[in-house]
Amino acid sequence: MHDAELQVALDAVRVACELSRHVRAALVTDDTLTKKDRSPVTIADLGVQAIISHHLHARFPADPLMAEEEADVLREPANAELKQKVLEHVARLQPALGEAEVMAAIDRGHHRGGASGRFWTMDPIDGTKGFIRNDQYAIALALIEDGEVVLGVLGCPSLPGGTLHQRSGIGAIFAARRGQGTTMSGLGHSASRAVSVSEVVNPADAVICQSVETGHTSHGRAARIASRLGITSPSLHMDSQCKYGVVARGEASLYMRLPSKTAGYEEMIWDHAAGCLVVTEAGGRVTDAMGKPLDFTLGRTLKANVGVIATNSRIHDRVIAAVTAVIAEG
């Protein structure tokens, strides 16, 4: 089931990964980093969204798309150079796409979501600071039907194919379909292999994977939770939904996203839809910090949820107990 959708999604994400790598190599310099210039990631965001949106629309024209970016920024006269660079990078891989087609493809991402119907959701560059640092970032694409994530693809251009410590090639792509498991392959067209979560049953033996940026998660709370669980191993810090991939292939057993400010904060669904399925289909479990399933039926955000916890399933209940106790402490 969803064979055609999976192939289109994989093809689109692979091309998008190539675009992101080329933008990063061509436009990010020491001077860019010093000046904190975000234009390269903006170019990559818009170019990736155009590529993936075009692929999806060509094959599934009736499917709406929910995505992060809009083309309005490129219509501003002051951003003529930015627009030209987006068009050049897209044309390098999709020469048939002119300005009108690129702008229309970017603008298709306006869908509002909901509990019924079928739509795609995408984060073109998840982990912008990782992208700029030449560290971890992801291109995330998921298909949602009647509020349930049924297909997810994560392109991780900087993630080693083996492990973070035993590298066997750079660039990994994870793919999952509901009820059919999770696979990982290289970003080329190499054969895929099934992946599964770790077999850790004692939370004290778990390795935690968490965000680099403290603005994305509360490292203080995470440390208190780890202490309650008896975890002493160093955490793996990385940006983006690559963390879901690392849990899915068993390199870490626990990913915690605990917002520093819970009041009024809502997670965007494109930040979690693909990764959630990748972990679940690899044998793991994903809930919010209170143990509630993630609810993808309420529009563009997970407004019914607080935080995200992804584990290998075996330790999930004990992790949730520790999380809720620490949150109750304040």
All CATH 3.40.190.80 domain ranges in the chain, comma separated: 203-329
Is 301 an active-site residue? no
- CATH code of 203-329, in short, is 3.40.190.80
Is 45 an active-site residue? yes
Return the minimum-mean-pLDDT range out of 24-33, 113-122, 218-227, 287-296: 24-33
The edge-to-edge listing of strands for the beta sheet with 138-145 is 65-67, 118-126, 138-145, 148-160, 170-177, 182-186, 193-195
- What is the rounded average pLDDT for all residues in the chain? 92
Given a cut of 70, whether residue 150 has pLDDT beyond it is: yes
Q: Are strands 254-257 and 208-210 parallel, antiparallel or unpaired?
A: parallel
Separation of alpha carbons 251 and 161, rounded Å: 12
42, 121, 128, 182: which one is catalytic? 128
- The pLDDT confidence band at residue 246, using thresholds 50, 70 and 90, is very high
42, 45, 280, 288: which one is catalytic? 45
Which of 95, 100, 243 minimizes the C-alpha distance to 159?
A: 243
Q: What is the pLDDT of residue 205?
A: 97
CATH superfamily of 3-195: Fructose-1,6-Bisphosphatase, subunit A, domain 1 (3.30.540.10)
More confidently predicted of 288 and 265:
288
Digit-coded pLDDT (tens) for 68-79: 899 999 999 999
Given a cut of 70, whether residue 215 has pLDDT beyond it is: no
Digit-coded pLDDT (tens) for 174-198: 999 999 999 999 987 678 999 999 9
Separation of alpha carbons 165 and 62, rounded Å: 43
Which of 206, 198, 210 minimizes the C-alpha distance to 232?
A: 206
DSSP annotation of 300: S
